[in-house]
């Protein structure tokens, strides 16, 4: 605890000092004089047909009101790489309140930085005002070394230099069909290179999640992280401990449930970030030789990537169960050496210990932690009752997570655990009785629950007596 407190104090002192000096007055004056590179349509060849019609409507209306308006961020990057953007972001010099006056279908969100969301049916166009660096006395706030509120508005140049990676700082002017590039992002895009804007160490200290974002973009786009941007990651990995665990779970979902989990894992391991998300994992250069414990998480990631590629449902619970399984086995063995209770009770105690330890790093939502626990608990039952009494088999087949638990048993067998006899018996049962297990794919209910909004029970109408 004392070590963690000392780390937090060091983090606050270092980051506060860096934030005060990263964008000083002289630096701002120098940046404001830089002229951006304007890239013509003949060079960038932006596939205009891929731009959302609703995004173009937003751009036109902002310009008609005498405001600047550009597409920016991931949508521009993805279009230039012939990828399909998942959403469209607009940057403008209009303040959020001014945007709301232009669009009736607009709501304002955010505390750290106010954003405008313009809804067109299921599609939301996000509009952000150009940001500037925080200066003393303006509407910004730094608490515990992190930016808490950042409502400091600026111009297009300021906004370009405040973004994280050069490839995310390209502005597209739909009216003129040109790209505006302040940070050589176009060149980095052509070279498939991921590079931070500014001094990498300072930018990572300002927001340590940028290290995970670097891994995610490098894996998703198959880019190489620039050496200067990659060098500080291992040294600064410890600062991920200062990020709220709920935010880290959001990043975990983006990292592992987007179809490139295996590549993400390789990069996380190479930069010693994997153990910052899962404390029981040693995936760095000092990791033990490959065995069943190391093969199982990787196989789970391969299966997850294949399911996403086939547009099948996935749930983070299955992947979390696989990632924490080696730690669970170690904790169960420790309890067994101490002579604690029965095998089933040891499994329950080990699950409690592992999950309670993990949520301090990664705030796993309760609906997923329950699913993880059920998958684990059913492993013992599947092994014990394979070939057993029919009433026990039927009772197991009625369990809600039986399909996911069976798939997990097969995964353990493929990884090299001695469970082939049980796995073969349950497989033979399904061949004889195709409807023994409910559902046709791994945990379809779990997957729908993973991505669906919370279900609210319909309110009952109060009866009135006449």
Is the Cβ–Cβ distance between 419 and 412 less than 8 Å? Answer: yes
Helix (H, G, I), strand (E, B) or coil at 147: strand
> Taking every pair of C-alpha atoms in the chain, what is the biggest distance, in angstroms?
80
- Please say if 89 is a catalytic residue: yes
Q: Per DSSP, which regions of 311-447 are E strands?
A: none
Strand duo 106-109 + 193-194: pairing: unpaired
What distance in Å separates the CA atoms of residue 405 and residue 244, rounded to the nearest whole number?
Answer: 31
Pull the structure tokens for residue 302: 């391969």
- Please say if 250 is a catalytic residue: no
The residue count for the chain: 466
Say which residues have a Cβ less than 8 Å from residue 145's Cβ, sequence separation at least 6.
11, 12, 13, 14, 15, 16, 205, 242
Given the residues 164, 305, 407, 446, select the one marked as catalytic: 164
462-465 contacts, C-beta under 8 A, 24 or more apart: none
What distance in Å separates the CA atoms of residue 311 and residue 309, rounded to the nearest whole number?
Answer: 5
Q: What is the DSSP letter of 124?
A: E
From the number of C-beta atoms within 10 Å of its C-beta (0-12, 13-18, 19+), residue 53 rates as exposed
Say which residues have a Cβ less than 8 Å from residue 405's Cβ, sequence separation at least 6.
374, 375, 378, 379, 382, 399
Helix (H, G, I), strand (E, B) or coil at 188: helix
Given the residues 78, 89, 188, 305, select the one marked as catalytic: 89
Given the residues 87, 173, 207, 348, select the one marked as catalytic: 87
- Look up tokens 């060849």; give the residue: 45
Pull the structure tokens for residue 228: 């200067």
What ranges in 35-127 are assigned the alpha helix state H?
Answer: 41-44, 53-64, 74-80, 96-102
- Please say if 93 is a catalytic residue: no
Describe the strand order of the beta sheet including 69-72 as a list of residue ranges: 37-39, 178-181, 170-173, 69-72, 88-92, 123-129, 115-120, 106-109
Pull the structure tokens for residue 210: 């940028």
CB 361: neighbour CB atoms within 10 A? Answer: 20
Q: Report the catalytic residues.
A: 87, 89, 164
């Amino acid at each position: 605890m004392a070590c963690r407190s000392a780390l937090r104090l060091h983090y606050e002192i270092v980051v506060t000092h860096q934030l005060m000096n990263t964008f000083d007055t002289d630096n701002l004056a120098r940046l404001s004089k830089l002229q951006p590179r304007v890239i013509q349509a003949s060079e960038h060849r932006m596939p205009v047909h891929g731009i959302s019609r609703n995004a173009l409507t937003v751009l036109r209306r902002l310009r008609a009101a005498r405001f600047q308006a550009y597409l920016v961020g991931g949508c521009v990057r993805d279009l230039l790489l012939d990828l399909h953007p998942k959403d469209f972001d607009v940057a403008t010099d209009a303040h959020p309140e001014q945007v709301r006056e232009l669009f009736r279908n607009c709501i304002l969100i955010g505390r750290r930085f106010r954003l405008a969301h313009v809804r067109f049916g299921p599609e939301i166009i996000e509009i952000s005002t150009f940001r500037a660096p925080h200066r003393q006395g303006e509407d910004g706030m730094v608490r515990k070394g992190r930016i808490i509120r950042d409502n400091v508005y600026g111009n297009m140049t300021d906004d370009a230099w405040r973004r994280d990676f050069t490839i995310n700082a390209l502005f597209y002017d739909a009216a003129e069909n040109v790209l505006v590039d302040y940070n050589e992002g176009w060149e980095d895009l052509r070279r498939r290179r991921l590079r931070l804007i500014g001094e990498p160490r300072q930018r990572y200290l300002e927001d340590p999640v940028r290290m995970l974002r670097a891994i995610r973009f490098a894996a998703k786009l198959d880019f190489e992280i620039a050496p200067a941007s990659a060098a500080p990651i291992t040294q600064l990995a410890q600062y991920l401990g200062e990020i709220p665990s709920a935010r880290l779970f959001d990043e975990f979902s983006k990292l592992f449930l987007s179809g490139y989990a295996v590549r993400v894992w390789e990069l996380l391991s190479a930069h010693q970030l994997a153990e910052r998300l899962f404390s029981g994992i040693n995936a760095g250069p000092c990791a033990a030789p490959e065995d069943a414990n190391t093969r199982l998480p990787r196989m789970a990631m391969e299966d997850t990537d294949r399911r996403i590629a086939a547009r099948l449902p996935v749930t983070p619970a299955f992947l979390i169960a696989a990632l924490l399984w080696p730690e669970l086995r170690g904790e169960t063995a420790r309890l067994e050496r101490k002579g604690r209770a029965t095998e089933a009770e040891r499994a329950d105690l080990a699950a409690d210990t592992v999950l309670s330890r993990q949520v301090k790093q990664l705030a796993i939502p309760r609906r997923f932690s329950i699913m993880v626990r059920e998958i684990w608990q059913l492993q013992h039952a599947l092994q014990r009752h394979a070939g057993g009494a029919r009433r026990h088999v039927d009772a197991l087949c009625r369990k809600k997570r039986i399909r996911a638990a069976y798939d997990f048993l097969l995964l353990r067998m493929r990884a090299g655990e001695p469970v082939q006899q049980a796995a073969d018996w349950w497989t033979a049962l399904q061949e004889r009785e195709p409807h023994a297990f409910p559902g046709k794919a791994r945990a379809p209910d779990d997957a729908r629950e993973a991505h669906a909004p919370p279900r609210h029970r319909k309110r009952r109408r109060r009866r009135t007596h006449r």
